[in-house]
Chains A and B, each alone.
Chain A
Amino acid sequence: MKKNLVPLVLLAVLAAFPLVVADNYYRHLMILFLMWVVIGSAWNLIAGYTGQVSFGDAAFFGSGAYAAGLLSHHLQISAWWGLALGGFVAVAVGLPFGWICFRMRGAYFALATLALNEVMRHSAAIAEGFTGGMVGILIMPTFVSKVPYYYVALGLAVASMASIRWIVHAKPGYYFVSIREDQDAAESLGINTHFYKMLSLAIAAFWTGVAGSLYMNYMGFIDPDVVFSLHDISIMAILVGIVGGVGTVYGPMVGAFVMVTVQELFRSGFFGLFAFLGRATGSPTVEAVAKTITGAHVLGFGILVVVVILVLPNGIVGDWPKIRNAFFRNKTAA
């Protein structure tokens, strides 16, 4: 019971959040956070547990988003059906890819995922008749209020984390980690490594696709550069995983929170701090910084990753004992 106390309290807080906080700005950030929990958890399963690093999560995210968008665009069926369909479409993209590319190991597989990302992005841009090309897809959002989206996102975040937590503590989880640690040894223990890598990829692709469908429903607009974006989706997914801690169940949640916060800090120019400083000091330098800082979030991500890898190579959750000792040394001693 005590083991489940922290997650349950956290869940209660998250469930109560939109009732307490009425500001749509913060609700929006929380929806993004929950969406990234889903994507981060999925990335963590294939990369963190199974050791098959994916640089192309956007391929699955975009497939899910387009599945929902095209459903509404061509067939006038509610994009909410895409929530289920998007996951399966992403699996349909992932399985043939995995079947071919899981013959490669390590960095070579990672490069193949990068290629998949670009193939999907260009395909979506080129197939104008079907996808609308670079014009993108616009659908009417179902709800004006953000609250329904919030609870859908929360439900998906909980479901993805619970399913992955269940899997990693069962037979497939042991097999995934064995493959990560040594694929040849895993084979000698009777593990069909090709099959289990495909299984891990399918589960990860499913949840990433579902997150993409949620994005379509929530934002109401997608185009190839947004949902198949290398740095805003694929790299962000990696950062969420690394910052939170690869191979930990709760790492992606912490990582998602940190990364969405950092992204927003840059996007908003540190909540208007630089704009304010510019006005206050009247210095042209500070004003110039204020203008460019909003576009510098990728630079910020880069610096953050370097710091995290140097100081906390196992991420915030993986290195939690280290952080606790550094900040609360007296408490642990007592």
Chain B
Amino acid sequence: MAFFRADELVKYFGGLAAVNGVSFQVEKGEILGLIGPNGSGKTTTFNMISGYHRPTSGRVIFKGQEIHRMPTHKICRLGIGRTFQVVKPLGRMSVLDNVIAAAYSRVNSHAEAQDLALETIRFCGMTPVKDQLAKSLPIAGRKRLEIARAMATKPELLLLDETAAGLNPTELTEAIDLIKKIRDNGTTIVIIEHIMHVIMTISDRIHAINFGQTIAEGTPQEVAQNKAVIEAYLGTEYA
């Protein structure tokens, strides 16, 4: 039994098939990269996994349980955390309070929630900014806060949606280090990323989609040399 399985996922918005039959498996402890050009259906796939969209058809199975009809908050409590590509900081709350709100999904008392939040903030290297308002953070801080918040819900599977976009080279290195650290801590990761340096460095396997359909899957090297992938990104004359 696979740790996580997306099975023939289809999502129509009106007459448009945003995702049209995507299937993949994730094994415990690995990092799966999800790539594809803009509009290929990556974020829609994430939204179906985390319960924001109900799939038109197909199934999502996590630890042997069908989750595609569950509400988002239940999926979170089952152990799937996610970050948002368009960051959603709880603006008028401090960084610490953002993470405490997330920590309350696992503990009930304020003291426990605060301990878990402080520990998560330290793990994510945000201790110096923990008392700042979330809306005052620069983009790198907001992306990191997304990760810290998701981590405070103690996910077994973490969905990262372009957490490296918009970062400068130093911040990128830090982000890669953090993601590796999360994996080494035993959290399984599915990551959407456009920055090839990031996705090639950290993924164990890569799943490429275009126009809502799978075009390739394999190790980073295999996918990088795949004709369909090069075609999707650069056009037919380069393939």
Contact = CB atoms under 8 A, between A and B. Distances in A.
Interface of A: 169-171, 174-175, 177-178, 181-182, 184-193, 247
A185 B113 CA distance: 18
Contact of A171 (B52, B88, B110): B110
Contacts of B84: 184-185, 188
B92 A190 contact: no
Interface in B125-166: 149-150, 152-153
A174 B97 contact: yes
- The listed residue with most B CB atoms (<10 A of its CB), out of A182, A186, A190, A192, is A190
Nearest to A195: B73
Interface residues of B, number: 30
B93 A177 contact: yes
Interface string B82-109: 1010001111110001001110110010
B64 interface: no
Main secondary structure of the interface of A (DSSP, over half): helix
B76 interface: yes
A181 B95 CA distance: 13
B88 A182 contact: yes
Nearest to B86: A184
Contacts of B71: 187, 192
Interface in B43-78: 50-52, 71-73, 76-77
A187 B47 CA distance: 12
B90 A185 contact: yes
A174 B150 contact: no
B92 A189 contact: no
Contacts of A187: 51-52, 71-73, 76
B73 A178 contact: no
A186 to B, nearest CB: 8
A184 B161 CA distance: 15
B149 A189 contact: yes
B75 to A, nearest CB: 9
Contacts of A190: 73, 76-77, 102, 104-105, 153
B153 A178 contact: no
